[in-house]
Amino acid sequence: MTDTPEQEPPVQGASSGPILDQDEIQALMATVDTEETAEALFSTLRPLPQPEHVEPFTFLSDDEGGPQRYPLFVNLQERFGENIKDMFSDLFQRDVTIQFENMQQKVYRDIVRDEREQVFFAFEVIGMGRMMIGADLKLVIATIDAMLGGEGEVLAASDEEIALSPVERKLSERIAGHIIRQLEMLWLPVRRMEFKLFKIDTDPQFLAVAGSNDACFTVEFGAMWAEEDGKGFIEIHYPRAFLEPMMETLRAAVSDEPIAEDEEWTAQMEESLKTVPVELQLDLGTCTMTIEQFLAIKRGDYLPFTMLESDPAILCVERTPIFHARPGEQNGILAAELLDPIDPTEGATP
């Protein structure tokens, strides 16, 4: 007979299972709001140290990231408006008003969805990409009429969509040529660029100037070339990718105030220039002969120079005439006696 361990009597009030069953736990949690639960959890955490001064932070909007942040770009576009005013005035042979309207950053897909009737001139620059100018269709047709000797009239409105005829499209290329000259002169102080006409179309969907979601700097000008039915618009669209290589330059501020001169740098530059060698030439005259005469010259011949023996010679520095001089000899060496300085404008064509 083996002994069995005696079992301890159960403690009064103790339970072998969980204090609350699953249904009771869910019922209890259902009465606690989610926010109260989160607050209870955060209250158990140690407080985080906070800075004494916190400045408000705002994210950049499209306007803040747009062309207004680039003062030199703004200045160039204002100048472009003045240039095309002169261009259209010459084409119409009368004053044409070109007025700045607005400047903003737009997404390319919004540009191509513009339902206004216009002609798109797409230009390409090697190494930079493409940009585009949209001109009111009425303005383009009126310009073509003026180029053909007309008064810059616009066709009467009709229910059918106005499109460019083959002749008008060809003459539009001449307008594009004028625009190219203005663009190249405009950007020359920033970067030398050679603009090429890529395509002219009234539908920008297939011009492929930029990606659908690419941002563009858009500048709009209003145009007026006649009192009645002579109002239109011109828009310039620069994809940001096109401008990217020049962004830092375009960010420069434009000021009419004189730039402060660095006197120390100027003094060092002057001292450095003093050590630069220059070449001086004494021009004793010229003569002209035929090839036959030149091939016949031999030792002992004399060449008939045009200047007289009493005439002064010309002393040149790097081929630029500087002094009249009298050739002579000093200590057995050919020398030149300086007479008087030469006026830089002497002999210049008025």
**pLDDT tens, position by position, 143-180:** 998 888 888 776 544 445 567 888 888 999 999 999 99
The pLDDT confidence band at residue 251, using thresholds 50, 70 and 90, is confident
| pLDDT (0 to 100) of residue 60 | 46
More confident residue, 114 or 157: 114
| pLDDT (0 to 100) of residue 158 | 44
Q: Has residue 192 got a pLDDT over 70?
A: yes
In order of start, what are the domains of the chain with their CATH numbers? 67-153+165-250 (3.40.1550.10), 278-341 (2.30.330.10)
**Strands 195-201 vs 129-136: parallel, antiparallel or unpaired:** unpaired
**pLDDT tens, position by position, 286-339:** 888 888 888 888 998 888 777 777 788 888 887 788 888 888 888 888 888 888
Separation of alpha carbons 213 and 239, rounded Å:
11
Query: 242 is written with which tokens?
Result: 């096109």
Q: Please report, as a single letter, which amino acid is at residue 350.
A: P
| pLDDT (0 to 100) of residue 61 | 46
Element containing residue 236 per DSSP (H, E): strand 230-239
| pLDDT (0 to 100) of residue 304 | 79
The residue-averaged pLDDT of 215-239 equals 91
The pLDDT confidence band at residue 28, using thresholds 50, 70 and 90, is low
Rg (CA), the chain: 41
More confident residue, 284 or 55: 284
| pLDDT (0 to 100) of residue 166 | 87
| CA 264 distance to own-chain centroid | 33
- DSSP of 69-131: G-HHHHHHHHHHHHHHHHHHHHHHTS--EEEEEEEEEEEHHHHHT--S-EEEEEEEETTTEEE
Q: Has residue 219 got a pLDDT over 90?
A: yes
Query: For residues 119 and 111, is the Cβ–Cβ distance under 8 A?
Result: no
282: which residues sit within 8 A by CB, 6+ positions away? 313, 314, 315, 316, 325, 327, 336
Q: What is the DSSP letter of 205?
A: G
Query: For residues 109 and 96, is the Cβ–Cβ distance under 8 A?
Result: no
**pLDDT tens, position by position, 258-278:** 555 667 777 777 887 788 888
Q: Has residue 98 got a pLDDT over 90?
A: yes
